[in-house]
């Protein structure tokens, strides 16, 4: 009962302060104006993630989770929140945003949380020494920015984050350990905000919200997936399949088109589903379903034998490739599987005609 009461307090704080943050955003000028790259048609306040951040910290005070990594996580998340807040107001140069993320990651790694082993199937664990530190930095940066990139439709990043965190909680049970407590706090903080952010949204979470969510998720995934081994990162990688694959598509697409990796475009997963004729709400729900599919595959993967796990990875990679080609996430001209299928179909048809 005490657990639910504390979580309700977190939810209520997020829910009740969001209207005030909407007014605060307009006062500060933290407003997202319509443009060719944006889906919304009117100016929207973009500081809503501040409600999630404040509710999260209140939740930490209520629960006081015990972990040697707590200080590093809190300091790092505070730096991320400040970075996102400043970006929402002043639209920081990408280099400054990266510096804020690196500094936040530094405090996590300095607390002792970094990848220490590489698990090689059939050989066991190998200590990778200091190489685990840059790998951990990369993981935190990639996950943080992937959530930031997926934040393009009403309720999308918030809903995806809830699905991801709920999966982490499920895989962490039984028990109320640090990861479960921190995940539940974040879920209920997001839920209070999502009431105002779901379609049609009254407020956007902004970079303060998306960067904060991505950072916390990256850290919790490192903490949960047992002894922080390199192979164990395949589980959260599957859970985060939607934002990570969308980020991968964006990088490849921009490299192919000889554009800067940090440049913006209107060819993300949600943009291309909208182009198929689906409504705003339908697109969000479709991506929720895709995210649930990735989460279910992660749960099965974590409880399977090595060979079943390999099959699951192969199937999900195939799914990502097919999705990328159908939705033209790599670009209109990159469709190797589609072209192969056409060639095989043409060969079979020609052979049948000759018989």
Tell me the per-residue pLDDT of 324-353, one tens digit each, with 9 for 90 and over. Answer: 888 878 777 777 777 777 788 777 767 767
Token pair, residue 242, equals 């939607």
Distance CA 66, CA 265 (A): 42
How many other C-beta atoms lie within 10 A of the C-beta of residue 40?
A: 17
* Placement of tokens 């007014």 in the chain: 23
Distance CA 25, CA 28 (A): 5
Distance CA 14, CA 162 (A): 15
Could you give the percent of the chain with pLDDT greater than 90?
Answer: 51
How far the first Cα of the chain sits from its last, in Å, is 73
What residue numbers bound the domain in which 310 lies?
Answer: 2-354
- Alpha helices by DSSP H, listed for 257-305, are 269-275, 280-302
Could you give the percent of the chain with pLDDT greater than 70?
Answer: 90
- Report which DSSP code applies to 201: P
Token pair, residue 12, equals 């209520």
Domain count for the chain: 1
Q: Over the stretch 249-308, which tens digit does the pLDDT of each residue have?
A: 888 887 777 777 767 777 788 888 998 999 999 999 999 999 999 999 999 988 887 788
Q: For the chain, how are helix, strand and coil distributed in percent, rounded to 5?
A: 70, 5, 25
Q: Over the stretch 135-152, which tens digit does the pLDDT of each residue have?
A: 899 999 999 999 998 988
Q: Over the stretch 101-112, which tens digit does the pLDDT of each residue have?
A: 999 999 999 999
Task: Specify the 3-state DSSP secondary structure of 177.
Answer: coil
How many other C-beta atoms lie within 10 A of the C-beta of residue 228?
A: 19
Window from 123-132, 187-196, 202-211 with minimum mean pLDDT: 123-132
Distance CA 42, CA 28 (A): 17
């Amino acid at each position: 009962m005490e657990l639910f009461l504390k979580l309700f307090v977190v939810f209520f704080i997020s829910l009740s302060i969001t209207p005030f943050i909407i007014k605060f955003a307009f006062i500060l000028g933290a407003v997202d104006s319509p443009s060719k790259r944006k889906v919304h048609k009117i100016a929207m306040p973009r500081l809503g993630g501040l409600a999630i951040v404040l509710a999260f910290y209140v939740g930490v005070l209520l629960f006081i989770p015990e972990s040697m990594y707590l200080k590093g996580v809190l300091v790092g998340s505070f730096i991320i929140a400040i970075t996102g807040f400043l970006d929402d107001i002043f639209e920081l140069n990408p280099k400054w945003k990266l510096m804020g993320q690196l500094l936040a990651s530094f405090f996590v790694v300095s607390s002792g949380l970094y990848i220490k082993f590489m698990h090689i199937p059939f050989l066991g664990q190998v200590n990778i020494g200091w190489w685990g530190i840059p790998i951990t930095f990369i993981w935190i940066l990639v996950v943080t920015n992937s959530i930031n990139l997926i934040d393009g439709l009403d309720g999308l990043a918030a809903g995806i984050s809830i699905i991801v965190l709920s999966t982490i909680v499920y895989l962490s049970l039984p028990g109320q350990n640090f990861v479960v407590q921190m995940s539940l706090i974040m879920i209920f903080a997001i839920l209070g905000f999502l009431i105002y952010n779901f379609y049609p949204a009254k407020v956007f979470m902004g970079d303060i919200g998306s960067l904060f969510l991505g950072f916390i998720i990256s850290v919790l995934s490192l903490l949960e997936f047992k002894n922080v081994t390199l192979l164990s990162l395949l589980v959260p990688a599957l859970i985060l399949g939607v934002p990570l694959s969308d980020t991968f598509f964006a990088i490849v697409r921009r490299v192919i088109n000889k554009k800067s990796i940090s440049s913006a475009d209107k060819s993300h997963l949600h943009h291309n589903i909208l182009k198929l004729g689906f409504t705003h709400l339908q697109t969000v729900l479709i991506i929720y379903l895709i995210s649930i599919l990735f989460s279910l595959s992660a749960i099965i993967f974590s409880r399977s034998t090595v060979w079943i796990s390999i099959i699951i990875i192969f199937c999900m990679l195939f799914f990502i490739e097919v999705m990328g080609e159908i939705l033209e996430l790599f670009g209109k001209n990159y469709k190797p599987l589609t072209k192969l299928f056409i060639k095989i179909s043409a060969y079979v048809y020609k052979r049948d005609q000759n018989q």
